[in-house]
A and B are shown apart, each in its own frame.
Chain A
Amino acid sequence: MRARVTVTLKQGVLDPQGKAIEGALKGLGFGGVNAARQGKVIDLDLAESDPERARAEVAAMCEALLANTVIESYAIELE
């Protein structure tokens, strides 16, 4: 099965890249953007077919490598 991991900076952690995106959007005239935060998406193709086990396995991957939990949080979607 496939898993999509979304890694974002935790709330309260300054995101200079998000700020730059926010500024650029404002510069283009998109005045309705209150804030922009940048993250990353990691798509995994897994051998596991049981959703529960797959979720546990991907969570372990996030803790071990995919996210730095000092500054980042992660969300897992399975499909």
Chain B
Amino acid sequence: MKSAVIVFPGSNRDRDVAAALEAATGRDPTFVWHADTELPDVDLVVMPGGFSYGDYLRSGAIAARAGVIPAVTEHHRRGGYVLGICNGFQILTEAGFLPGALMRNAGLRFVCRKVKLSVERTDTAFTSAYEDGQVIPCPVAHHDGNYFADPETLARVEGNGQVIFRYADGTNPNGSVNDIAGITDETGRILGMMPHPENLIASHQGGTEGLGLFASLAGAVSEPA
């Protein structure tokens, strides 16, 4: 699987997600500067975690208007996959790739801890390596992770089965509606999630449960020999 990681001013998990992609696919991703208007030929585009533009105006708002965004739209239109983690999820909602919005945590505090995530679906390109009903630990680190959508949008997202990850066992760290931690778009090829699976890929990080997401993607993309 060939992948690209978009680097914004203030991205800080770009190298982490690159390590996860390398571990799962054996290939290093290409780093793409946010102002570039073209993407290399890749299967997956990643919007990494961080604090693009210092979270000014709204988290992800300015990054969502970056020069590279039209190329990401085109990449998705051609059948490509897009993954946004943490600030990347915020950018994807701000850019209109995903419904809803990420608001200030209900407790008003920055949360940096490990939560439990229930894998709601295993028939997706992002989660096929997990087992039905599996609950995995995963780190979170954010101030604006409180997922919100108006009741109509929420009913549609739930009805379509677009909720892929939920906070489990009372570990919702931010007040997200319906314990939502990660959702896809209607095509199932764009995933946005607040937790950081890229930070749970080696035993020294306390576990390797995050690798499954990247392994799933690698499996979903069939590469010509």
Q: Tell me the A residues contacting B by CB distance below 8 Å.
A: 12-14, 16-17, 20, 64-66, 68, 70-71
Contacts and interface: CB of A to CB of B under 8 A. Distances in A.
B106 A68 contact: no
Nearest to B99: A70
Interface string B70-103: 0000000000000000000000011000011101
A65 B105 contact: no
Interface of B: 57-58, 61-62, 65, 93-94, 99-101, 103-108, 146, 148-150, 175
B101 A66 contact: no
Contact of A71 (B57, B107, B148, B175): B148
A18 to B, nearest CB: 10
Contact of B57 (A14, A65, A70): A65
B108 A68 contact: no
A14 B57 CA distance: 18
B100 A70 contact: yes
A12 B103 CA distance: 13
A71 B93 CA distance: 11
A71 B108 contact: no
B101 A16 contact: no
A32 to B, nearest CB: 24
Contacts of A17: 104, 108
B65 A68 contact: no
Contacts of A14: 103, 106, 148, 175
A65 B62 CA distance: 8
10 contacts: A13-B148, A14-B148, A16-B108, A16-B146, A17-B104, A17-B108, A68-B58, A70-B93, A70-B99, A70-B101
A17 to B, nearest CB: 6
Nearest to A13: B148
Nearest to B60: A68
A63 to B, nearest CB: 12
